[in-house]
Amino acid sequence: MTYTLITGASSGIGKEFARVFAQKGHHLILVARRIHLLEHLKKELLKDNNIKIELFPVDLANPSSAKQLFETITARGLLVDHLINNAGVGSWGPFVEADWQEQLRLIQLNITTLTELTYLFARQMLTYHRGTILNISSTASFGGGPYMALYYASKAYVTTFSEALAEELKDSPINIQVLCPGPTRTGFEKAAGMKHAKMFTWVPTAMPQAVAQAGYDLMVSNRKVKYHSANTHVFNLTARLGPRSLWRKAAAIINGIPRKK
């Protein structure tokens, strides 16, 4: 029996991933901090789907979390053949005014834990000759993003790391993929403390259900990278064809200049 592991499954895109994969009959391992939300989701999914669901309440911004999670899953004999590294947070405001511990937690969650989970599960998948890893990046990965500098940079890492690994492993039995959604209606804006940003009002937003479906479609294909929706294709083209200064100036406006306290 194999499982699909989804990080950040308690809300937003991750929760919708859980719904899509459950409908397709996948057994699930769901990870997030808010266990009550995971339990609620488990109850909902078990009503309509004859699958197994394991819950792991884990703070993935804890430096030892990836190794501990991997070891616990392995010790319980649960085999992961689909891994969705979805958990991530934003950070909004001038970088030099931000709380350093919060920045470190973002780096740990968005970059280090994602990388370590990819490392650990990719190695295991190679020994079983099967598996797919989907990393959730963002259109924010296409260029610098003033007032969300660390978040954009963390997603640039996710995209280029995943693309490189996909190429390294292209002749192996496992597949590495990356999905780049644009602004999506989830708990992200609130979690990032974005109070005056125009990202979710000026830019057309996607629904998390559509993003998760795009991620599922990508995982059952052999493709490596997917930009969800027409908007994200436009962002990608703009970033590639225009001067980099144009992207970062537009991003500064969309991210919104935080008001002085």
Ligand X SMILES: NC(=O)c1ccc[n+]([C@@H]2O[C@H](COP(=O)([O-])OP(=O)(O)OC[C@H]3O[C@@H](n4cnc5c(N)ncnc54)[C@H](OP(=O)(O)O)[C@@H]3O)[C@@H](O)[C@H]2O)c1
Secondary structure tally for the chain: helices H, strands E: 11, 7
CB of residue 61 to ligand X, shortest distance in Å: 4
For CA atoms 76, 78, 80, 84, the dihedral sign is negative
Task: Answer yes or no whether residue 149 interacts with ligand X by CB under 6 A.
Answer: no
Place of tokens 């947070």: 89
Task: Answer yes or no whether residue 229 interacts with ligand X by CB under 6 A.
Answer: no
Burial class (CB in 10 A: 0-12, 13-18, 19+), 26: buried
Task: Answer yes or no whether residue 181 interacts with ligand X by CB under 6 A.
Answer: yes
Interaction pattern, residues 104-123, with ligand X; x per rule: CB under 6 A:
-----x--------------
- How many residues lie near ligand X (CB under 6 A)? 30
Give the sheet arrangement for strand 225-227, strand by strand. 53-57, 27-32, 2-7, 79-85, 131-136, 174-180, 225-227
Task: Answer yes or no whether residue 162 interacts with ligand X by CB under 6 A.
Answer: no
Name the segment binding ligand X (CB under 6 A); options: 11-19, 42-50, 93-101, 252-260.
11-19
Are the C-beta atoms of 32 and 112 separated by less than 8 Å?
Answer: no
151 is catalytic: yes
Identify the active-site residue in 3, 128, 147, 151.
151
Nearest to 59 by CA among 40, 34, 80: 34
**Residue 174 or residue 199: which is nearer to ligand X going by CB?**
199
Beta bridge partners of 192: none
Q: Which of 121, 188, 216, 235 binds ligand X (CB under 6 A)?
A: 188
Catalytic residues: 151
Which chain residues interact with ligand X by CB under 6 A? 8-14, 32-34, 37, 58-61, 86-89, 109, 136, 138, 181, 183-184, 186-188, 191, 208
